[in-house]
């Protein structure tokens, strides 16, 4: 079985995409945007795309604009061969893995025009990672333009619910800037321990992996308390996470899923972020309505 076609430039990608869409008379194109370091969470995105779209594409680009720390950018795990193998085994047809200069010709200077994620990009993750969501909004806008299939085919893009704030901002981006793209959310994949799958888990030692389960445990406890009609007792849950060895809690909040502002009503979204062994991890869970 031949693997996915690997393209490095926008011109190559567009020409291969046009060829595949015509060859398959495709009504839609599925896009899975990634930064590589692929895991089963990404595989779930690819499977969702495969189930919907006759042509499945993925991007692999570690976007410097969304890293606020040069060290974090440098340490981000990279393994093209392993990523290409996973793309291949999940039936991805076309991969776009550009060099940084292809995406940002003025690099290391920032592009002059960037996309703002507004106030939604400045709270929660955005408060600790200034500029992060503007970087995401900028690269995702570029990817939507680059992958825009010519003719009647429509672009569908798959995003994990694990990055809940990113998903909300991408949805706003599409609505506010009229991108002709359908956003498809895909549920978070978890390890048996409850730990949400993430590329950053590769940076955890075994003992940090154990410690990191404090995040999902707090979220599950919150959801169960809400389901039982009990007081959420956020303060006690925050204490429980703070008391866990090797875990430095940044935030544990319950927010309105539409605005990301704190709420005491359901349906709601509980969001958590913490450093475990120096690695920033995030997770979230839906708290259903009554
Ligand atoms: O979720 C990610 O991996 C990245 O933020 C994305 C959407 C590929 C943009 O760089």
31 lines ligand 1 (CB under 6 A): no
On whether the CB atoms of residues 20 and 45 are closer than 8 A, the answer is no
Q: Tell me if 286 is assigned to some domain.
A: no
Q: Fill in the DSSP letter of residue 168.
A: H
Structural domains of the chain, count? 2
How far is 166 from 162, CA to CA, in rounded Å?
9
What's the N-to-C CA distance of the chain in angstroms? 50
117 lines ligand 1 (CB under 6 A): no
Q: What is the pLDDT along the chain (290 residues), one digit of tens a residue?
A: 579 999 999 999 999 999 999 999 999 999 999 999 999 999 999 999 999 999 999 999 999 999 999 998 998 999 999 999 999 999 999 999 999 999 999 999 999 999 999 999 999 999 999 999 999 999 999 999 999 998 899 999 999 999 999 999 999 999 999 999 999 999 999 999 999 999 999 999 999 999 999 999 999 999 999 999 999 899 999 999 999 999 999 999 999 998 999 999 999 999 999 999 999 999 999 999 88
The token pair that represents 143 in the structure block: 């990817």
CATH code of residue 268: 3.30.1300.10
How far does residue 220's CA lie from ligand 1's centre (Å)? 26
Q: Tell me if 58 is assigned to some domain.
A: yes
The token pair that represents 108 in the structure block: 């290391």
Which atom of ligand 1 is the closest one to the Cα of 136? 9
How far does residue 63's CA lie from ligand 1's centre (Å)? 8
Q: Tell me if 289 is assigned to some domain.
A: no
On whether the CB atoms of residues 226 and 190 are closer than 8 A, the answer is no
How far does residue 34's CA lie from ligand 1's centre (Å)? 5
Select which of 42, 119, 132, 208 is catalytic. 42
Helix (H) or strand (E) holding 276: strand 268-276
pLDDT in tens, 172-228: 999 999 999 999 999 999 999 999 999 999 999 999 999 999 999 999 999 999 999
3-state secondary structure of 246: coil
Active site residue 42: yes
Domain, as residue range, for 273: 199-281
The token pair that represents 82 in the structure block: 């392993």
Which CA distances in Å does 265 have to 33, 63, 148? Answer: 33, 36, 39
Domain end residue (candidates: 141, 165, 186): 186
Asked if residue 225 and residue 163 are part of one domain, the reply reads: no
Q: Which pLDDT score, from 0 to 100, does residue 1 have?
A: 57
CATH code of residue 114: 3.40.50.620
Which atom of ligand 1 is the closest one to the Cα of 59? 8
Asked if residue 151 and residue 76 are part of one domain, the reply reads: yes
On whether the CB atoms of residues 117 and 134 are closer than 8 A, the answer is yes
């Amino acid at each position: 079985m031949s693997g996915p076609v690997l393209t490095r430039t926008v011109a190559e990608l567009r020409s291969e995409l046009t060829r595949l869409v015509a060859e398959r008379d495709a009504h839609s194109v599925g896009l899975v945007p990634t930064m590589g370091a692929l895991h089963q969470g990404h595989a779930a995105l690819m499977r969702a795309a495969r189930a919907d779209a006759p042509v499945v594409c993925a991007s692999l680009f570690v976007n410097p604009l969304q890293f606020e720390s040069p060290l974090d950018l440098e340490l981000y795990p990279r393994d093209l061969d392993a990523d290409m193998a996973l793309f291949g085994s999940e039936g991805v047809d076309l991969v776009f893995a550009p060099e940084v200069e292809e995406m940002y010709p003025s690099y290391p200077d920032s592009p002059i025009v960037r996309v703002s994620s507004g106030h939604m990009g400045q709270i929660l993750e955005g408060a600790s990672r200034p500029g992060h969501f503007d970087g995401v909004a900028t690269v995702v806008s570029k990817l939507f333009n680059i992958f825009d299939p010519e003719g009647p085919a429509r672009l569908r893009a798959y995003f994990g619910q694990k990055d809940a704030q990113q998903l909300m901002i991408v949805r706003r981006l599409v609505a506010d800037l009229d991108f002709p793209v359908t956003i498809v959310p895909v549920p978070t994949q978890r390890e048996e321990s409850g730990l949400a799958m993430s590329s950053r888990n590769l940076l955890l030692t075994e003992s940090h992996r154990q410690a990191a389960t404090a995040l999902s445990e707090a979220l599950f406890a919150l959801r169960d308390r809400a389901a039982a009609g009990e007081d959420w007792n956020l303060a006690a849950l925050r204490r429980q996470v703070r008391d866990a060895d090797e875990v430095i809690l940044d935030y544990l909040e319950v927010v309105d899923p539409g605005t990301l502002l704190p709420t005491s009503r359901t349906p709601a979204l509980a969001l958590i972020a913490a450093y475990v062994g120096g690695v920033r991890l995030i997770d979230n869970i839906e708290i259903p309505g009554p």
